[in-house]
Amino acid sequence: MLQGIMELQYKVQNYDWGKLGKESMVAKLLSSADSSITIDPDKPYAELWMGTHPNGPSLIIERNVFLSEYIQDNLDAIGPVVKKRFGVAVPFLFKILSIGKALSVQAHPNKAHAEELHAKFPDLYKDPNHKPELAIALTPFEALCGFRPLREIQNHLQKLPELTKILPEDCVNTFLAHKEHGDSGIPLKQVFSSLMTSDKAVIAASLNTLCERLEKEEEGTQSALSFPLLRRLHSQFPGDVGCYALYFMNYLRLRPGQAIFLNANLPHAYLSGDCVECMACSDNVVRAGLTPKLIDVPTLVEMLDYSSYSLDQLLFCPQMEDSNSCIWRPPVPDFAVVKIRVETGDSYNTAVRPSPSLIIITSGSGEACDTEPVAARPGVVIFLKASRQLTLSPAADSHLEAYQAICNV
């Protein structure tokens, strides 16, 4: 019987924005972990969930019991430090995402705001927790994140009469005349709020006119006004106000291994690619565009962080722990993520941590061992008890790469 490590069966979510079939990293990991699974080439494989979230709880394979049930009867698995801070719980949800179509323009409330929204609107905001998120690119990854520097937004508006003519003239003029300094968020909030609350039919007509104009422009103009991205978003969500968000928010193209941290109130929208994601256990999302789901524009425009960010400011860099591992430590206690890579002919003992761990193998092959070995191949997920150590040993002709989610305590 394995003592410290347990292999998990996880939940796959087939949301319609996911990549199709084996184009999806989620599908590749799923079929690698279990060769009996047939991947449907026409089905979206969007998310792979690891943890105890009730909408997709992980099962301990050898015991045929849910991880959430196991920890209730085995408090040593959580450890005293995490138990004191979070109770008997795995307070984070660990995921792999494979994005084929844009996700909604959204933000997440802070803890106090989440408690307030849950108390007032429990049917919409189903828990009182915050939902900070960390996304680490596995493949080239695109996202909108945070508001652009003020000058960039002003330059866009000056070149987009189709947009400015549907907004209040005094609001636009005040924003265009504003110099970037401490209270830049006030005129930005006014103009962004005006956009998000504009009549849907007016927005749709404006977007159609803009797309028709840019289609006829030279490549340089198209590039300067992000027409390839606008055209793609408009094809996915025709007439949606969220298409205009790209002129207000930073457009990030992450290379594999680069990451972003999404703190409370930071506007964002994932656009494409595969990533490792970790978040606090919550379903609190406030949406306002690029989605058929319920939107809550008044809440979103009031809560947003209207600070301007450069692309460099949004990249969230890890710290090296040793020659085999680096760690992303967000400014929240709920989670941190470690990337581990072990080359051929080597082996690696993970750090002993006061937290339980969820570990997914993302590439290579070999063994993962505590008291007994588990075959390590892409898609295999392991639960490691608090204060235990895992030895990763690649096969003779391979390497092992893994991501480990822990509590940041």
pTM exceeds 0.85, yes or no: yes
Q: Please say if 255 is a catalytic residue.
A: no
Structure tokens at 136: 């680490």
Count the domains in the chain.
3
On whether both 371 and 236 belong to a single domain, the answer is no
> Active-site residue among 148, 287, 341, 353?
287
On whether both 60 and 131 belong to a single domain, the answer is yes
Tell me the CATH number at 29: 2.60.120.10
Q: Is residue 310 part of a domain?
A: no
Tell me the CATH number at 223: 1.10.441.10
Q: At what angle do helices 185-196 and 150-158 cross, to 10 degrees?
A: 40
On whether both 78 and 106 belong to a single domain, the answer is yes
On whether both 127 and 168 belong to a single domain, the answer is no
At 249 the three-state DSSP class reads strand
On whether both 31 and 88 belong to a single domain, the answer is yes
Q: Is residue 297 part of a domain?
A: no
Q: Which of 59, 45, 79, 91 is nearest to 279 (CA)?
A: 91
On whether both 139 and 28 belong to a single domain, the answer is yes
Q: What are the pLDDT tens digits along the chain (409 aa)? A: 345 679 999 999 999 999 999 999 999 999 999 999 999 999 999 999 999 999 999 999 999 999 999 999 999 999 999 999 999 999 999 999 999 999 999 999 999 999 999 999 888 888 898 899 999 999 999 999 999 999 999 999 999 999 999 999 999 999 999 876 555 678 999 999 999 999 999 999 999 999 999 999 999 999 999 999 999 999 999 999 999 999 999 999 999 999 999 999 999 999 999 999 999 998 889 998 888 887 898 999 999 999 999 999 999 999 999 999 999 999 999 999 999 999 999 999 999 999 999 999 999 999 999 888 889 999 999 999 999 999 999 999 999 999 999 999 9
The whole-angstrom separation of Cα 325 and Cα 338 is 7
At 242 the three-state DSSP class reads helix
Please provide the DSSP assignment of 326-368 as one string: EEE--SSSS-EEEEEEE-TT--EEPPP-SS-EEEEEEEE-EEE
- Helix, strand and coil percent figures for the chain, each rounded to 5: 30, 30, 40
Contact 390, 370 (CB under 8 A): yes
On whether both 221 and 82 belong to a single domain, the answer is no
Q: Which domain holds residue 133?
A: 5-145+253-288
Q: Is residue 300 part of a domain?
A: no
The whole-angstrom separation of Cα 186 and Cα 46 is 37
On whether both 272 and 233 belong to a single domain, the answer is no
User: What is the bridge-based pairing of β-strands 92-99 and 141-147?
Assistant: unpaired
On whether both 382 and 334 belong to a single domain, the answer is yes
On whether both 111 and 217 belong to a single domain, the answer is no
On whether both 38 and 177 belong to a single domain, the answer is no
Q: Is residue 374 part of a domain?
A: yes
On whether both 353 and 396 belong to a single domain, the answer is yes
Q: Is residue 304 part of a domain?
A: no
The whole-angstrom separation of Cα 237 and Cα 200 is 13
Quote the pLDDT of residue 40: 98
